[in-house]
Structure formats: C-alpha cells, structure tokens
Structure 1
C-alpha cells in the first residue's frame, strides 16, 4: 500500500542507486542549519564526547583526569600531518580570504620564508615534545595511574577560589601595573585577591614600586619558574607560568598595561564564561590558511576558528570539564617553553592558549565583539591617508543585556541609556567596553600628554565576530542570501611605522575609502565605509567619561617602555 502511494515520487529503478547519496546530502544540509551548531568546529575524526557544562562538582583525581586527557593526546598523535602543499590547498578552500586579515609582517616573514620549509617530521617532533612535557608535568609519562598525589594535583588545580593574576617586569612595566591596581582598588572598589608573578631579580630591583603595590592590600608575590630564553627581547613564557601555577582555581589574567573600565568581578558569573570555563578575547587579525598550525594540530581552518586571540586578558576555570582546562593551560605553558618553534606560528605567547584548546579538541568561548581601536587624531601630516593613530586595544564584555543592566544598577551609565542594536539582529545587544589595553601606548605616546591621549574610537559598525545565528541561517534563502555577508570580512588592521607605532582599522571595501591596494590615498580615506569614528567620552552612556583624568591621576604615563 505504502509503496504504491510513494511510487510516483520515487526515481526510476535504474536511478535509485543515487537515492542514498541524495538522502545523505539532505541530512548533512539539515544538520548544518541547526541553530545550536558550535561556533568553533572540530574534525569529526577527532570529536570526543564531553559534558556540555563546564562546572566540575565531582572529585578530580590524577586517574580521572588521565582518563579524560590521554585519549585526546593519543588521537592527535595518531592523526596524519599533511605536507605543506596539500594542507594549503585544503585549508585555502575552508578559509579562502583569511590572509587578507592576517598580520602582514607574519605573512611576509614566517609565511613566505619559514612555513613552507616546515617538514612533517619537524611538526611531529614539536607536537610530540609538547605532549610528552605535559605528561611529565602530571606524572603520566611512565603509566597513567602513577600521576600526581591528591594534594599535588589539588594544588595545581588551585585552592584559593577566584582572583586576579598579573606578571611584573622592569620598573616601567610594574609602574603600569601599579596604575591598573590603584584604579581597580581605589576607583572601582575591586576586592579580588591578587597574585603577581616575577623573577627574583625583578623583585629585588622594584623596591619602592613593590612597596606601593603592597600598600593596596590583598597582593601576594609569587616567584616565576619559567626560564628566560637566550636572546629573547621579552620573557613571554612567564604568562603561561603565572596562569597555570596560580593558587586561584578561577583566574582573570590581566597584562600590566591593561586597565579595566569597571570592576570586572562579574565576569566570573557570565554565562559565556561558564559554558566552557574559558574565555579568550580576539585580536585584530586572523590566521591564514597557510599557517602550519592547522596541519600540526589536525584542526580544520574556518573563518571563526581563524580569529587570533589577544591575551591581554584571559578568563579561565582550571577545574572546569573535570580539570581538562588545567591540562590545556599546561599545554600552552609547554608551547611557550619551546618559543623558538611555537612563536613562529603564533607571533608570541598569545595564541598558544588557543592552540592548546585546539590540541585537546576542546571548544572555547570567544568574546563576541571585534576590538575597537582607541587613540586620537594624528598629529601633523597624515600618513598614506591615515588620519588616526590608535595606541590602545579596547576589548568588550561577554553578555550585553546582563552587563548593561549591572552597569546601570552600579550607576556607571545613565539610567535611560539603551545601547544600539545591530541591524536585523534585534535580539543581540553589543556588550560594553571593559578593558582599556594600552598595549601600544608605550611605543607611541612620547608626544602625548594629559588631555590628548584617549580621544577617539574607531570600530566597525557591526563588530560581531560572526553573523548572528538567525541571520546566517536565513541567508541561505531568498534575497538575504547575498545581503548577509560574513561580519567583518572587509575590515583591515595594520600597524603604521610613524610616531612610534600607530594602529588603525578601516573598511577596505568602502566605495569612498582607500581600497585594497591604494597606498597614497587622500587624507581621511581610511575613515570612510563601515567603520565608525567617534569621541571616546561621548560613547556608551558616559561609561568612559573621566577615564583619562583618572588614568593620569593614578600614575599613568604615555611612552614609558
């Protein structure tokens, strides 16, 4: 009966061999359209079942952690590493345009001269060395049941709850840290305990600055164990050491030149953070399809996964997912200890955290907005059409509606302030700016003074790292198919070699802008297009009002290296 009803709709018998393929294609298409599809995909061959929630209420033992971590190591070690040409051909299909948003210096140096020469054997050795070092750190090298004792593992996981972690350095670096801590304690009322990691020689040399920090209260100094690399201009490895070895089980790490706009304690209760127990913040650039990290870690490139991370702030729960987040931190730490290799892929410590989660096939949460560039109008003559000099990476929050409500209750913004929503994504509220990461001010600020430092913000009008889920699904149908282009696809960023270093962002596709290849564009060309230029203190309901005065009043400086 059923066969007679369906017969008119079935293909001829000779064509039915193709029916299973058609059905399979339909199933895959429907799976793709599912609204809860993860933002950061992982190869199905390496997918490992894990709990959705990040919280770990049960007891974590060396054996339980080994059962979670070692199968992930084994799967990666058994995966095939492609040669350079094969990988580039494949990843260029998955990430066809990411090179346009990649770091230009990295592409011109490593991308052209180093990445093509990395052999399969070199990549295998680098991967094996990191995994073996992490196994040694947990005591799993001989056998998995011979790991750390309960007390040793508990210390690694952290026993002191939530806290802020910083790293010190020379006097200039630690003076910037003092400014950030003064603002957190005196202006924002932040009471989170603080740990500062430094080398013994640094602690002895800091003296008065260290005394001023100690007077703020709730600060513990910890001795760094990382080894300074010979000839390195900066001790990048100390950051991985500090985060992994902190006594806090939940860490908000901040660079010394990073000043929060408000007390950031509420981030620990963020739904975005609690989903995976790890939040990374995006950098301006993406990784290109040519980066060997995709072949090394058997992780497919995608426009979302290609966003580089910026580690001026990092939020992590080491006990989350049965302790796997701690394992990821130790992987990142091991990568930093081999910086001669890994920093060729990441351009410093920052992306080793992201690579570590790739290595373990663990999803992570990424803050949802592209960073804004904060600075001021260029002094003197424009440089190739650029009339803006950015020196600060302005990073945003995680959960817009929740965070704006908190800021209104705290009196940080006007009661009647309502943030703009983005186009058709009416249920997406852009989070507020939270971190003033003045990472270039020490290079740029020699001509800057109070009243002329934090003046202008440049940011994309739609700063979402990926299109809104509903818009992305709708874009497959009808007229929206061409209208819903991937967010930020035409946004470019570069450091400009003038007045020290200046950071600028622009819309390369703007009709009246500079275009992709125009070098001597007229003044103001890089301000055209889908990039907003606005006065810093007039934005976000007054959240930033008075920041510059506060910064300088609490000892902030411009230009000190």
Structure 2
C-alpha cells in the first residue's frame, strides 16, 4: 500500500513539474508551424547516452568559414554539446526589463529542423521569378541543411548572453562626462582608395553646406601616413568660429582586420563606438545628392528612429536566419547597409546586437550577406519597427554596345519621399568603365513612389514589387550588373531611362570628378 502511495505521489509531482515547465516556457506555436515544432531539439540531434555509460565526449563547437563568390563567408556548423550553451543565458530569474522579457521569450521560441523550416517558409517566400542571392543560396546548398537545431540553440543562447552582459554593463556604468550626443556621420576607410572616396564624399557634403561632424573609423596600422594626412587635412573644414564641418579619425576597437576582400565587420563596431546619438552611417562610395539634415526631421525618422534601405535581393526560404529568429520568412527585399540612419537613444539594444554580429562575423555573416542584412535581422529579433524608402533600387551605369541591359555599376537609392538621394557606386571600384560613367538607369517598371509607403511594409501589393526582374552581377569581363526578365515574364517588367531625365542627377558626374573622384 505504501509503495502504491509513493508511486501516485511521484506521478502527481511529475505531472505538476511538466505543467509548470510548459507554462513557464509559454510556447504558443503559430499556425504555420508543424506540431513537431513543440520539441526544442529534434530526433537524432540530442546526444544519446547508454545506461551505465559516462556522457559521450564531443568536440567543441566550431564553424569553418569558406568564401563564396559573393565574398561573404560560408558557415559550416557542427553540433555543439549542451554544456557549451552560455550559463547566463539560461537564467530562470523573472524578467526585470522589457529587453529581459524579450530575450526570455526569444529563448523559448521553437526551433524548426531544416526540412520543416523550408517547407513552411517556401509558402511565404516564393522563389519563381524572384531575384534572390543566388551566390549565397547555391553556395550553401550543402551547408545550410547541416546547421542543426542544437547549433541554432547555441547561437540563440550566445546572443542572449551577450545582450544581458551589455545591458548589465550599461546599468552599472558610472555617470561620466563622456556622453554620446548630437548628430553625425560615421564612415569606415582603411586604404588609399577608400580614403579618396571619403574625401570626395565629404566634399559633396561641404558643397551642400552640411555642418554634420564626421567620424572616420579604421583598423589599427591600416592607414598609411599619406592616408592619414589626406584625411587630417579635411579637419581644416572647421572654421575658427567652430562652424563648418568637423572630421575626426577614430580607431575601431575589439575587431581585427580579416583576410577577405571586404571588411564587413568594421561597420557595426564603428556605429556602436561612435560618439553620436543620432547617426548616419555612410559607405565611402555612397554619395549624397543633397544635405541629409531633412531626413532627420522627417516623419519616418520621428516615428521609428531607424531608417534602412532595401537591397536587390529578396529573402530566401532556405536561409538559416529564419530558424535563428524563430520567425516566418518575410517576402521582402533584404537589407542593404550602404547608408543607415539610427538613433542610439531608441535603439541601443539593436546596436549591441549588430556589433555582436560584427564581432562574430565568421558565424553569422554567411547568411546575412556580410553586414548588409544584419541590421534588418537585429530589428526583427528585437521586434523593432523600421522605415525607409517605399521604392527598390535602380541600377545605374553605362550602356553596353553588345548588351543594352548590362553595364550597371551603381545602386541608385531613393530617400523616404521617393526622390533619388544616394548614388551608391559600389562596383565602380572593381572594374574600368568608359565615360560618361553615368549615362542611363535600369529600374523595375512597377516601382513608383506612393506617399505613405515604406520599406518594411510587406502588405500587398508591396510584396509583389520586383517580381519577374532578374538582376545578375557578373564578374567577367568585368564586374557589372545586368537586368533582365525571368523566363515567363514580359521584357517590359523593367525599363531603361536616361540618367539626365532626373533633375537631381544632372551634373553629378562633373561634381564627382571635380571633388576628387578617381576612376
């Protein structure tokens, strides 16, 4: 009798514990997820232990980084031990702040296996007639399926541990006079060509009577004495009465220069380490067409404090990002980070996360296109709203004699009001083009500005903009973009226009060369 009583008592206690755990985890599985998503780990992924045997030894978690043709690292994940999950991220303390609550909820999100994720997200992010990052997707066709749920769990715990540590450091920080404030522009320039581009960009700003201070970040021992002098000469733009532009060189801390052809990782760290509160990050080859002050005063900025710009490529259902975030794939264009407006006061947590991705770029940048989509990823993880132009990019450049649809080397990007604002000449440094450098524009025919539209809104018909248009980046005989129609679509899905038909673009090339542009 006593034995039966003990069994009943044990069963009641066990049932209570299970119900308590389920209540604390608070899993509410969305309708689009299969029932198997209730399981945190999936069959075959949890290390098996034989009765009477010691726990099996496993290798430490590691990621092997290779390079795709797009220049972004490829992540090949191995299975970590559960003991490698950061202890701090497993805290059961009740959340104390809104960020604590969000992070705790993030850890509790279900993790889909790769097949489950692809099955669910393929319905949300179609790929037929869609321009996605084929270099990344096809280059990782064998790698992304091997990122198992334990690896995703480890990434989540590492992110949460970092965010909790940064929040703790911020809370314990003693008040000081070194407060971040005001508005300013942040750039990164580490070699002669980038330095020349930064100088040209700053001269454009000066011609618009901009007084926004500029901080230019670089890696240690990266700038030659000639480069330093070239940039230091720009500090003379500041007048004796302290009007005019102020330019300052800054050394980025905590990030080492890698061996790749692009140093993506400096961007997130530079933004976080800048001295400004309201920041415009600007790639040195993203040239402004007018003074950016008005964007800081606009409705989109006031509403969100975060302005992002779309890239040419749309989200893909196989991308591990959606498993990491625990969110459904969004049928929208991925982020492009040639320019970013961000408020530190409103988005310090997002800046911590973007910096974390930068510090650990070998693990995350392989499925974020380098740094370019890390800002959108951070915003989605933290539940942030962002805004930006309700238009997608045009491809600008020259006309090829043998191919009218080729010869693009510049991303032409609009402001929140739909007017061209950024001449992002991101490929011009990788190839030689004849003059005039900017003579025509290729753009999606249905891309027309409508008041109130914004990047980040995927409601119909926004989710269909760009369908049928393929933009291919070729490497031979030179790196350039070619815009064509996908099979099954009319050639009229894109149009070719004259560069000078837009008032804001006229005389840009003359000014670019006059301000020291080199090609």
TM class, shorter-length:
0.7 to 0.9
Aligned with 1:201 (options 214, 221, 226): 221
How many aligned residue pairs are there? 413
The alignment's C-alpha RMSD in Å is 2.6
**3-state DSSP class of the match of 1:458?**
strand
Does residue 171 of the first structure (1) align with residue 197 of the second (2)?
Answer: no
TM-score normalised by structure 2 residue count: 0.74
Deviates most, 93-102 or 329-338: 93-102
1:463-482 paired onto structure 2 within 5 Å? 463=447
Tell me how far 1:121 sits from its aligned partner. Answer: 0.9
| Contact persistence 2:441–2:499 (CA under 8 A) | yes
Structure 2 Cα separation of the partners of residues 496 and 222 of structure 1: 35
Structure 1 Cα separation of the partners of residues 462 and 367 of structure 2: 32
2:271 corresponds to: 243
1:68-467 paired onto structure 2 within 5 Å? 68-97=98-127, 100-110=130-140, 112-139=141-168, 147-149=171-173, 151=175, 159-185=180-206, 187-205=207-225, 206-217=227-238, 218-228=246-256, 230-304=258-332, 307-320=333-346, 325-378=347-400, 380-382=401-403, 387-399=405-417, 431-444=418-431, 446-449=432-435, 452-463=436-447
In structure 2, the CA distance between the partners of 1:468 and 1:159, relative to structure 1 (3 Å rule), is closer
| Contact persistence 2:219–2:257 (CA under 8 A) | no
Unpaired segments ≥5 residues, structure 1: 1-44, 46-64, 141-145, 400-430, 470-474, 477-482, 514-528
CA deviation vs aligned residue, 1:18-44 (integer Å, no higher than 9, x gap): xxxxxxxxxxxxxxxxxxxxxxxxxxx
**3-state DSSP class of the match of 2:262?**
coil
Structure 1 Cα separation of the partners of residues 325 and 471 of structure 2: 27
**3-state DSSP class of the match of 2:316?**
coil
Tell me how far 1:118 sits from its aligned partner. Answer: 0.4
Structure 2 Cα separation of the partners of residues 269 and 440 of structure 1: 31
TM-score normalised by structure 1 residue count: 0.69
CA deviation vs aligned residue, 1:79-113 (integer Å, no higher than 9, x gap): 11110001111111121237832111111102x12
Structure 2 Cα separation of the partners of residues 354 and 226 of structure 1: 23
1:51 corresponds to: none
Structure 2 Cα separation of the partners of residues 547 and 534 of structure 1: 16
In structure 2, the CA distance between the partners of 1:162 and 1:344, relative to structure 1 (3 Å rule), is same
**3-state DSSP class of the match of 1:94?**
coil
**3-state DSSP class of the match of 1:126?**
helix
Tell me how far 1:555 sits from its aligned partner. Answer: 0.8
CA deviation vs aligned residue, 1:236-293 (integer Å, no higher than 9, x gap): 2211111112111100110011110111111101111221110110000012011111
Tell me how far 1:456 sits from its aligned partner. Answer: 0.5
1:496 corresponds to: 474
Tell me how far 1:509 sits from its aligned partner. Answer: 5.9
Structure 1 Cα separation of the partners of residues 509 and 269 of structure 2: 32
The 4+ residue runs of structure 1 with deviation greater than 4 A are: 464-469, 509-512
Tell me how far 1:468 sits from its aligned partner. Answer: 8.4
Structure 1 Cα separation of the partners of residues 190 and 128 of structure 2: 35
Structure 2 Cα separation of the partners of residues 387 and 243 of structure 1: 36
**3-state DSSP class of the match of 2:505?**
coil
Tell me how far 1:228 sits from its aligned partner. Answer: 1.9
Does residue 543 of the first structure (1) align with residue 504 of the second (2)?
Answer: yes
Structure 2 Cα separation of the partners of residues 176 and 535 of structure 1: 25
Does residue 508 of the first structure (1) align with residue 494 of the second (2)?
Answer: no
Tell me how far 1:498 sits from its aligned partner. Answer: 2.5
| Contact persistence 2:315–2:331 (CA under 8 A) | no
Structure 2 Cα separation of the partners of residues 171 and 239 of structure 1: 18
Tell me how far 1:338 sits from its aligned partner. Answer: 1.2
**3-state DSSP class of the match of 2:211?**
coil
In structure 2, the CA distance between the partners of 1:230 and 1:281, relative to structure 1 (3 Å rule), is closer
CA deviation vs aligned residue, 1:429-455 (integer Å, no higher than 9, x gap): xx11000010100012x2434xx2011
1:534 corresponds to: 497
Structure 2 Cα separation of the partners of residues 280 and 466 of structure 1: 18
In structure 2, the CA distance between the partners of 1:92 and 1:196, relative to structure 1 (3 Å rule), is same
Structure 1 Cα separation of the partners of residues 126 and 489 of structure 2: 23
Tell me how far 1:202 sits from its aligned partner. Answer: 2.7
CA deviation vs aligned residue, 1:27-85 (integer Å, no higher than 9, x gap): xxxxxxxxxxxxxxxxxx9xxxxxxxxxxxxxxxxxxx961211111100111111000
Tell me how far 1:387 sits from its aligned partner. Answer: 3.9
| Contact persistence 2:388–2:415 (CA under 8 A) | no
Unpaired segments ≥5 residues, structure 2: 1-37, 39-94, 239-245, 454-458
| Contact persistence 1:465–1:488 (CA under 8 A) | no
| Contact persistence 2:129–2:468 (CA under 8 A) | no
In structure 2, the CA distance between the partners of 1:108 and 1:511, relative to structure 1 (3 Å rule), is closer
In structure 2, the CA distance between the partners of 1:99 and 1:301, relative to structure 1 (3 Å rule), is farther
| Contact persistence 2:300–2:416 (CA under 8 A) | yes
**3-state DSSP class of the match of 1:207?**
helix
**3-state DSSP class of the match of 2:416?**
coil
| Contact persistence 2:310–2:335 (CA under 8 A) | yes
Structure 1 Cα separation of the partners of residues 514 and 108 of structure 2: 57
In structure 2, the CA distance between the partners of 1:85 and 1:313, relative to structure 1 (3 Å rule), is same
Structure 2 Cα separation of the partners of residues 287 and 269 of structure 1: 31
| Contact persistence 2:338–2:424 (CA under 8 A) | yes
More helix by share: 1
